[in-house]
Amino acid sequence: MNQGIKTIIYPVTDINRAKQFYSVLLEVEPFVDSEYYVGFQVGDQQIGLDPNGHKEGMTGYFQVSDIHKSLQALLDAGAQILEEIKHVGGGRLIGSVKDVDGNIIGLVQDGVQQA
């Protein structure tokens, strides 16, 4: 079910400047390059840049095989919904909760066909 944190999101204020910086740091070009998200793939790790990340407070997502089941398990364990599950493109679903201490936990599932 849980495959670990495979996506790390860095909140940025200037996505173009950050894209140049992380391209040098990671020694790869982005595989996703849009005004609302830039993503780099380095092995099994995805590094993302989010110009809206500062207001969201999100830095990492747990890769799961069934986001709906995982979200419900967290809610049953006392978490509170922060962001409902939504498609963000490319067959990817994301959602997030706050744990019992208010920490943000993001979930991501890839390979989903959008209905």
Using DSSP, state whether 72 is helix, strand or coil: helix
- The tens digit of pLDDT for each residue in 27-36 reads 999 999 999 8
CB 80 within 8 A of CB 41: no
With respect to residue 114, please indicate whether it lies within any of the assigned structural domains: no
CATH number for the domain that contains residue 89: 3.10.180.10
* Token digits of residue 81: 């919904």
- The tens digit of pLDDT for each residue in 69-102 reads 999 999 999 999 999 999 988 888 999 988 887 8
With respect to residue 72, please indicate whether it lies within any of the assigned structural domains: yes
Instruction: Tally the domains of the chain.
Output: 1
Mean pLDDT of the chain: 87
pTM score, whole prediction: 0.68
With respect to residue 102, please indicate whether it lies within any of the assigned structural domains: yes
- On the 0-12 / 13-18 / 19+ scale of CB atoms within 10 A, 53 is middle
With respect to residue 90, please indicate whether it lies within any of the assigned structural domains: yes
Candidates 73, 68, 71, 57; CA nearest to 10 is 57
d(CA 58, CA 88): 15
Q: Which domain holds residue 45?
A: 2-109
